[in-house]
Amino acid sequence: MELRHLRYFKAVAELLNFSRAAEQLRVAQPALSRQIRALEDELGTTLLDRNHMRVRLTDTGRTYYAHTCKILAQVDMAAASVREVTDGSAGELIVCNDWHLGGRIVPAALNEFRQLHPRIDVVLHDRRVHDQLALIVNRRVHLGFMVRELLGNRRELECLDILSSQLMVVMPSGHAFAALPSVRLAELAEETWITVDPKESAQYRSYFNRLCRWSGFTPIIGPTGTTLEGIAGRVASGYGIAIMPEHMVEAMGPGLCAVATDCPPVELCAVWHRDEKSKLLEQFIAVLRRHAVRDLEKPVSPRRKR
Q: What is the pLDDT along the chain (306 residues), one digit of tens a residue?
A: 788 889 998 999 899 989 998 999 899 999 999 999 999 999 999 999 888 778 999 999 899 999 999 998 898 888 777 776 766 667 889 999 876 565 677 888 999 999 999 988 899 888 877 788 889 999 999 999 988 887 777 889 999 998 888 999 999 999 999 999 999 999 999 999 999 888 877 778 888 999 999 999 999 999 998 878 888 899 999 999 999 888 777 767 778 999 999 999 988 899 999 998 888 999 999 999 988 865 555 544 444 554
pTM score, whole prediction: 0.66
Same domain membership, residue 191 and residue 42: no
Same domain membership, residue 155 and residue 236: no
> What CATH number is attached to the domain comprising 98?
3.40.190.10
> What CATH number is attached to the domain comprising 50?
1.10.10.10
Same domain membership, residue 143 and residue 217: no
Three-state DSSP state, 157 = strand
Same domain membership, residue 257 and residue 111: no
Q: Can you tell me the distance from the alpha carbon of 44 to that of 53, in angstroms, rounded to the nearest whole number? A: 25
- Beta-carbon-side half-sphere exposure of residue 273 (alpha carbons within 13 Å): 18
For the chain, the residue count is: 306
Same domain membership, residue 290 and residue 147: yes
Same domain membership, residue 77 and residue 220: no
CB 268 within 8 A of CB 165: yes
Query: For residue 121, what are the β-bridge partners?
Result: 92
Same domain membership, residue 79 and residue 122: no
CB 194 within 8 A of CB 242: yes
Same domain membership, residue 78 and residue 101: no
Query: For residue 269, what are the β-bridge partners?
Result: 146, 161
Q: Can you tell me the distance from the alpha carbon of 252 to that of 244, in angstroms, rounded to the nearest whole number? A: 11
Q: Please count the structural domains in the chain.
A: 3
Which residues span the domain enclosing 243? Answer: 167-264
Is 32 exposed, middle or buried, given 0-12, 13-18 or 19+ CB atoms closer than 10 A? buried
Q: Which amino acid is at 153?
A: N
